[in-house]
Amino acid sequence: MLALGKLLELTLAGHEPAAKIQLTSEGARLRWLAEGALEVTPPATADSGLDLLLSAGIHGNETAPIELLERLVQGIARGELKPQTRILFLLGNPEAMRRGERYMEQDINRLFNGKHEQTSGFEALRAAELERLAATFFSKPERTRLHYDLHTAIRGSKIEQFALYPWAEGRTHSARELARLRAAGIEAVLLQNKGSITFSSYTYAKLGAEAFTLELGKARPFGQNQGVNLDLLESRLRSLISGEEPEVDAALDGLQLFAVAREVIKRSDEFRLHLPADIENFSELPQGYLLAEDIAGTRWIVEEADARIIFPNPKVKNGLRAAILIVPGSLPAA
């Protein structure tokens, strides 16, 4: 196997490869761009016109997606997976990965779309580097751009594998992309309705990619992901890479769609989230429920019917989102 096929090993060891460019026997080029960043270019005669960005490890303790990307990289390096797609593999937070931590100083996935310019430190520099790598990769004109940012969640979930679909002014959510997600094993999608500061929101709003944050189960250490079944997603990614994707069924039967009702923003150290510590994502909340309280008598009371909660985390820094209240949603009529 080509040495660059050991991207995860190189990243965890903090090593820079001696050879930055290597070719597979089929003529695909692997190029090491920076720590945790590998670009794959197919032979010109086999290029499908798709630019595919696959990122994982934005949170260093979310290992199942990292292991998935490693299998894909190794398959390409061995010549078993023959790319007809340009691919950029990104391992987002190498230092946090090495330490098995979510992040070192601050959450990288809250530092995109200009937020890294308002702070300093390791994660801010890395967010800027990830933006630069993604912008360069997606700079070629007249190509299809697709970004999957792969995560696992802090907590359990009543819907284990789900996606967040970013929002941008002047763009509409794609039924075809939703169908592609359903075929990859995604059970639900949250259709966002305002801009965000996550990596997928950056590539969607600023770089014109179809982009998604994928939540793929619960975070576990390396080697302990036997309970996370990513077979459907891995199969779909392999078919995208090899240019052999099966025809996508446009029907969205079985895919649950949700919309954001409200974000709960933590304003002060007085913030209190009135939920059990072990509550699962997509848990239903009754109307009238006192969800949270904060300084100066601020209260969040559930007013919406069929409301559910995702990403509850009262430990976030002041000014950041401590939970999202969601309700059933749908695509706008064509």
- Report the alpha-carbon distance of residue 187 to residue 164 in Å, rounded: 11
Which amino acid, residue 76? I
- Report the alpha-carbon distance of residue 195 to residue 113 in Å, rounded: 9
62 is in an annotated binding site: yes
Q: Is 290 helix (H, G, I), strand (E, B) or coil?
A: strand
Burial class (CB in 10 A: 0-12, 13-18, 19+), 120: exposed
What are the structure tokens assigned to 77, written together?
A: 């390096």
What are the structure tokens assigned to 300, written together?
A: 């969040």
Could you tell me if 175 and 250 are in contact, meaning their C-beta atoms sit under 8 angstroms apart?
yes
Specify whether 280 is catalytic.
no
15 is in an annotated binding site: no
Say how many CA atoms lie within 13 Å of 21 toward its Cβ: 4
- Report the alpha-carbon distance of residue 275 to residue 265 in Å, rounded: 15
What residues does 188 pair with on adjacent strands?
162, 256
Among the listed residues 215, 234, 245, 270, the single catalytic one is 215
Could you tell me if 190 and 162 are in contact, meaning their C-beta atoms sit under 8 angstroms apart?
yes
DSSP assignment of 175-194 equals: HHHHHHHHHTT--EEEE--S
Dihedral sign, CA of 12, 13, 15, 18? negative
Residue 29: how many CB atoms within 10 A of its CB? Answer: 16
- Report the alpha-carbon distance of residue 178 to residue 212 in Å, rounded: 10
Say how many CA atoms lie within 13 Å of 143 toward its Cβ: 18
101 is in an annotated binding site: no
Could you tell me if 94 and 252 are in contact, meaning their C-beta atoms sit under 8 angstroms apart?
no
Could you tell me if 317 and 280 are in contact, meaning their C-beta atoms sit under 8 angstroms apart?
no
The residues carrying an active-site annotation are 215
What residues are designated binding site for Zn(2+)? 59, 62, 151
What residues are designated binding site? 59, 62, 151
